Amino acid sequence: MNDTLCTDVLSGLTTGIELTYLVAAALFIVGLKQLGSPATARRGNIIAAVGMFFAIIATLINQSVINYEMILVGVIIGSIIGAITAQKVAMTEMPQMVGIFNGLGGAASALVAVGEFWRLLDAGKGVPFDATLVAILGVFIGGVTLTGSLLAFAKLQGLVSGSPVTFPLQQPFNIFLFLSFIAGSVYLFINPANPPVFLGLVGLSLVFGVLFVLPIGGGDMPVVISLLNSFSGLAASAAGFILMNNMLIVAGALVGASGIILTEIMCKAMNRSLVSVLFGAFGSAGGTVAAGSGDGTDKNVQSIDPEEGAMMLGYARSVVIVPGYGMAVAQAQHTVRELANQLEKMGVEVKYAIHPVAGRMPGHMNVLLAEANVPYNQLHDMDDINPEFEQTDVALVIGANDVVNPAARADQSSPIFGMPILEVDRAHHTIVIKRGLSTGFAGVDNELFYEDKTVMLFGSAQDMVSKLVSEVKQL
């Protein structure tokens, strides 16, 4: 009688856990959907976090948890580190923070795979084919994600050089290592109880992560980090199969799918294929000084001061603000909103034009402008705003460079040819705020700066925009 009661309680508990997982998965999906728009992104984040809370509680209730103390210690340490880093990290450093979190996720999944393989070995009943397969996959994806993400973090943080690292016979060497991995895996399927071979595969996976990221330039790291994010999801899914945990499988698949979609969006917005990002050794971290126009002729730029800039803006009917990486570095978003408010008070119509890869991570500008409480309805996507530039009096470019470079439209020899741009050169006048004539991420000169309709306001974005605010107030 007692046994029956016990079985009923356990089966009820399992059903309850699975139902909670289902609710959590639904919350993740709704949360992800809402993250797609700046207007609903905060709510989406909270909904997904609530889903994660349910998932964690349901997992802790699971009967197979054997040590709550260790979990508690992990939760406390992890929460403290997470809370402090989230508070401290600057928005421009977000890609490397995501990178390091991906790496740790990959490490956790690889450790689950190693632990399960060892548990089955110790049990002495052999390692079944499916368990070996999932363990190898978990170790491979998790290992590549761990070391690849750590190297990506180090490149972005400037701890190692951001330049692409290539060496002779690199591809044949990589292929040789990969074939060795395949051979080791096949051997393990035939002789599963073989710890040295399994550990060899773990070592190779870690080496692959480094070799994968080594030839990619620092500027392309955000794309790589998005791809590694997708890998970390796949590694979590593999861990879910190992632990027979449906929640982990679903959550990992969602991360895997959204990571790859984001990677695709970034590549498309740069008009580059993923293959060229991974193997093209393209991109500096930006910041080289452009040598004239690059065609051997000396070109002049027209420089103005804040007072002249304020006159152009204050007497315009319509102004489109185009923010870029420089605005993010200077943290000028609050001052930019102040300028927009001031112009609106004077009857100027103000809009913001958002390029999908402005800055260094997708949605970078949306996040910064939302932080400065810029109304969402003033933010306009590239496709919506481009037809409006011809009727715009002044396009105010703040720390953007590549995303407004007309060479992407006209110059077939340019490395950024074909990348969709914000067509500020079609506006009646363009004011560009930047510190000098340095190139942006792609390392190419920008014809826009030398055009007759363009004037340059040289200086740091924060300094120049606040000077514009005070000058506009005096009009």
| Residue 107 or 407 having the CB closest to ligand NAP | 407
Q: How far is the CB of 433 from ligand NAP (least distance, A)?
A: 6
| Residue 154 or 354 having the CB closest to ligand NAP | 354
| Residue 120 or 358 having the CB closest to ligand NAP | 358
Positions in 281-300 near ligand NAP (CB under 6 A)? 286-287
**Binding flag, residue 266, ligand NAP (CB under 6 A):** yes
Q: How far is the CB of 87 from ligand NAP (least distance, A)?
A: 23
| Residue 116 or 425 having the CB closest to ligand NAP | 425
Phi, psi (deg, nearest 5) at residue 243: -90, 0
| Residue 185 or 405 having the CB closest to ligand NAP | 405
Which residue among 110, 114, 228, 270 contacts ligand NAP (CB under 6 A)? 270
**Binding flag, residue 217, ligand NAP (CB under 6 A):** no
Chain position whose Cβ is nearest to ligand NAP: 440
Q: Which of 163, 191, 168, 467 is nearest to 342 (CA)?
A: 467
**Binding flag, residue 258, ligand NAP (CB under 6 A):** no
Residue pair 92/328 in contact (Cβ under 8 Å)? The answer is yes
The verdict on whether 402 is a catalytic residue reads yes
Catalytic residue (choose from 402, 445, 452, 463): 402
CA distance 120 to 242: 11
| Residue 154 or 464 having the CB closest to ligand NAP | 464
Which residue among 268, 334, 435, 473 contacts ligand NAP (CB under 6 A)? 435
Looking from the CA of 340 toward its CB, the CA atoms found within 13 Å total 25
Positions in 315-334 near ligand NAP (CB under 6 A)? 324-326, 329-330
Using left for φ > 0, alpha for ψ between -120 and 50, and beta otherwise, residue 93 falls in alpha
**Binding flag, residue 223, ligand NAP (CB under 6 A):** yes
What is the total count of residues that contact ligand NAP (CB under 6 A)? 35
* Paired tokens of 334: 């609050």
**Binding flag, residue 434, ligand NAP (CB under 6 A):** yes
Contact stretch for ligand NAP (CB under 6 A) within 66-74, 209-217, 406-414, 434-442:
434-442
CA distance 46 to 199: 40
Q: How far is the CB of 429 from ligand NAP (least distance, A)?
A: 19
* Paired tokens of 303: 């420089």
**Binding flag, residue 360, ligand NAP (CB under 6 A):** yes
| Residue 37 or 171 having the CB closest to ligand NAP | 37
**Binding flag, residue 262, ligand NAP (CB under 6 A):** no
Q: How far is the CB of 438 from ligand NAP (least distance, A)?
A: 3
Binding track over 375-414 against ligand NAP, x by CB under 6 A: ------------------------xxxxx-----------
CA dist 365 → 3, 195, 376 (Å): 60, 49, 12
| Residue 250 or 368 having the CB closest to ligand NAP | 368
Which residue among 211, 260, 461, 469 contacts ligand NAP (CB under 6 A)? 461
Number of Cβ atoms within 10 Å of the Cβ of 170: 14
**Binding flag, residue 448, ligand NAP (CB under 6 A):** no
Which residue among 208, 441, 449, 450 contacts ligand NAP (CB under 6 A)? 441
**Binding flag, residue 268, ligand NAP (CB under 6 A):** no
Residue pair 437/425 in contact (Cβ under 8 Å)? The answer is no
| Residues marked as catalytic | 402
Q: Which residues bind ligand NAP (CB under 6 A)?
A: 219, 222-223, 266, 270, 286-287, 324-326, 329-330, 357-362, 364, 399-403, 433-436, 438-442, 460-461
